[in-house]
């Protein structure tokens, strides 16, 4: 035994486990303590004081229950009232629509009746104003009681492209008119007077014949001719010597005024000579006191 050789000592192959990385420790700490200690302490204190959760006293619980019942009651009553009122509202709406349609139909019928009566009156007036001597209806032509046609001019006057509804009072004396560019009643008055002065024998604006009793005025932003509202563009037809009438009007003070409106305010205008323009008779020419002269002198 003593002579046998001794085996070499066995060395252990086990090694010491590695030291955990610092970043892993931080992640583990965050996962284990996701709630900040201050928040956790505040939550524990609040729970201990009884501030969270359901009311603890019977009175508080009864108040909460009463509030919930009241809210449910209000919602239920509101829904029921809405359900009940819906058919009534729909019925009233339909009744209102039916009434509007009936009144509109009645107004259309009355308007048609008025147009028929106006035509009848105009025919009677034309017959009464007709010159019995030579058969010419000169009085009716000059008074606007009969339709006329002949050579003349066509003048279109329109608002500026960027026209708005601003401007009160006298807009051209305010800085706001440059932002409106709207044609005013006084503009159309000057246009008509300039055409008369330049030799026009009969004038109509948007199909509305002008007479010695015609009035051009404003109602808000609308222009009225004999109390009838007109909408732009305004088309003025005038019977007369076409080329001469056009030249004289453009060179007149009123024609230059219209040109200044075009240059300074953007009012759009266009004038052209026409070989034949047709003007309707005035809708109502009422003669109450004038009588046809017999041609005999008076002393």
* Per-run averaged pLDDT (10 residues), the chain, 299 residues: 52 49 61 64 69 64 82 84 77 87 90 84 69 56 80 93 56 45 90 93 91 86 86 92 93 93 91 91 70 57
pTM recorded for the entire structure? 0.51
- Could you give the CA distance from residue 213 to residue 87 in angstroms, rounded to a whole number? 55
pLDDT in tens, 46-60: 766 655 555 567 777
- Could you give the CA distance from residue 103 to residue 233 in angstroms, rounded to a whole number? 30
pLDDT in tens, 197-253: 999 999 999 988 998 888 899 887 789 988 888 888 999 999 999 899 999 999 999
pLDDT at 234 (0 to 100): 94
pLDDT at 177 (0 to 100): 42
How much is the mean pLDDT over the chain?
77
> Residue 281: helix, strand or coil by DSSP?
coil
pLDDT at 297 (0 to 100): 52
pLDDT at 157 (0 to 100): 94
pLDDT at 205 (0 to 100): 94
The DSSP call for residue 52 is S
The DSSP call for residue 297 is -
The torsion angle over the Cα atoms of residues 195, 196, 200 and 205, rounded to 10 degrees, is 60
Q: Please provide residue 172's backbone torsions phi and psi, each rounded to the nearest 5 degrees.
A: -80, 0
């Amino acid at each position: 035994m003593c002579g046998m050789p001794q085996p070499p000592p066995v060395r252990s192959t086990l090694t010491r486990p590695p030291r955990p990385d610092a970043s892993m420790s931080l992640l583990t700490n965050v996962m284990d303590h996701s709630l900040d200690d201050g928040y956790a302490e505040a939550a524990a204190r609040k729970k201990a004081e009884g501030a969270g959760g359901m009311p603890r006293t019977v009175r508080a619980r009864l108040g909460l229950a009463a509030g919930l019942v009241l809210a449910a009651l209000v919602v239920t009553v509101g829904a029921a009232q809405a359900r009940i009122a819906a058919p009534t509202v729909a019925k009233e709406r339909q009744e209102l629509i039916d009434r509007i349609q009936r009144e509109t139909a009645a107004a259309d019928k009355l308007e048609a009746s008025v147009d028929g009566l106006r035509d009848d009156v105009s025919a009677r007036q034309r017959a009464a104003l007709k010159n019995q001597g030579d058969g010419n209806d000169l009085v009716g032509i000059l008074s606007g009681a009969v339709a006329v046609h002949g050579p003349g001019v066509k003048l279109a006057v329109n608002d500026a492209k960027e026209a708005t509804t601003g401007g009160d009072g006298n807009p051209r004396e305010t800085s706001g008119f440059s932002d409106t560019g709207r044609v005013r009643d006084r503009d159309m008055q000057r246009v008509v007077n300039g055409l008369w002065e330049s030799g026009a024998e009969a004038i109509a604006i948007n199909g509305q014949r002008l007479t010695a009793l015609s009035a051009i005025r404003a109602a808000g932003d609308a222009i009225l001719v004999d109390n009838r509202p007109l909408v732009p563009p305004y088309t003025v037809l005038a019977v007369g010597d076409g080329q001469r009438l056009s030249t004289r009007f453009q060179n007149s003070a009123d024609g230059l005024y219209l040109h200044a409106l075009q240059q300074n305010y953007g009012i759009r205008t266009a004038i052209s000579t026409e070989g034949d323009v047709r003007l309707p008779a005035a809708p109502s020419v009422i003669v109450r006191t004038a009588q046809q002269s017999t041609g005999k002198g008076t002393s």
